[in-house]
Amino acid sequence: ETGVTQSPTHLIKTRGQQVTLRCSSQSGHNTVSWYQQALGQGPQFIFQYYREEENGRGNFPPRFSGLQFPNYSSELNVNALELDDSALYLCASSGSSSGNTIYFGEGSWLTVV
Amino acid sequence: SQQGEEDPQALSIQEGENATMNCSYKTSINNLQWYRQNSGRGLVHLILIRSNEREKHSGRLRVTLDTSKKSSSLLITASRAADTASYFCATDDYTGANSKLTFGKGITLSVRP
């Protein structure tokens, strides 16, 4: 149990639609990151939020966007969904109290049809 | 792009045997973290080793880091069927508040009862 919670756990969307995934970080953690994990691959860094601002971004197009709220929870939004967006989306949190250790949630499985 | 490259890609052993997994990476790092992932679920943090450390233990786990060779190994002693999972190494080039993990493709470990 990492204290990082994500919702929903599974969802199916149609190509072209938009999706919002949610994450509550572990108590006391002010940094949230999002990762995409395609089947059979390792997770890929999408972006990170620190104190409500984007603080680093991986090689993902602008249709991947996010938010961090004052309570450090976060959202990942993906617009104009493509079939290749089908993946497990993982939220991770960290903070000064975690000593650089990064804790992950259980993930949200997104299937785009 | 994947920074870490794990070896072997798949490992099958008998319960009670030791499992050794290796990871190589390409660029300078601040720390390296090992994670376990059960099928279709989130990542469970196993151990973090900093760039100035050479060896670390946690229960049945032993991790080594050789920064001159840019490699790390994870040893699981006295393996159990419950250790069956995918294992990932992830490098962290943490700078200040910006911490980003770069993962390899993972190692699939099967422990036969």
Cα–Cα distances in angstroms (integers) from residue B109 to residues A24, A78, B94, in the given order: 30, 33, 29
| pLDDT, greater one: A89 or A102 | A89
Out of A101-105, B17-21, B92-96, pick the least confident: B92-96
Instruction: Evaluate if residue B96 carries a pLDDT over 80.
Output: no
Rounded CA separation B62/B73 (Å): 8
- B40 near A88, Cβ under 8 Å? yes
Q: Quick: pLDDT tens for B1-50.
A: 456 688 889 999 999 999 999 999 998 888 999 999 998 789 999 999 99
Reduced DSSP (H G I as helix, E B as strand, rest coil) percent helix, strand, coil of chain A, to 5: 5, 50, 45
pLDDT at B94: 67
pLDDT at B4: 67
pLDDT at B93: 76
Q: Is A104 helix (H, G, I), strand (E, B) or coil?
A: strand
- Give the pair of three-digit tokens for residue A77: 């939004």
Instruction: Evaluate if residue A13 carries a pLDDT over 50.
Output: yes
Residues of B in contact with A109 (CB under 8 A): 40
Q: Quick: pLDDT tens for A23-56.
A: 998 888 889 999 999 999 999 999 999 889 998 8
Instruction: Evaluate if residue B53 carries a pLDDT over 60.
Output: yes
Q: Check CB contact under 8 Å for B105 and A42.
A: yes
pLDDT at B1: 46
Residues of B in contact with A99 (CB under 8 A): 48
pLDDT at A99: 73
- A5 near A103, Cβ under 8 Å? no
- Give the pair of three-digit tokens for residue B27: 């660029």
Q: Check CB contact under 8 Å for B42 and A107.
A: yes
Instruction: Evaluate if residue A75 carries a pLDDT over 90.
Output: yes
Quote the DSSP letter at residue A80.
Answer: S
Residues of A in contact with B33 (CB under 8 A): 101-102
Instruction: Evaluate if residue B109 carries a pLDDT over 60.
Output: yes
Terminal C-alpha separation, chain B: 36
Which candidate in A25, A104, A110, A111 is best for mutational testing of the B interface (most B CBs within 10 A)?
A104
**One-character DSSP codes across chain B:** ----EEE-SEEEEETTS-EEEEEE-SS--SEEEEEEE-TTS-EEEEEEEETT-SEEEETTEEEEEETTTTEEEEEE-S--GGG-EEEEEEEE--BTTB--EEE---EEEEEE-
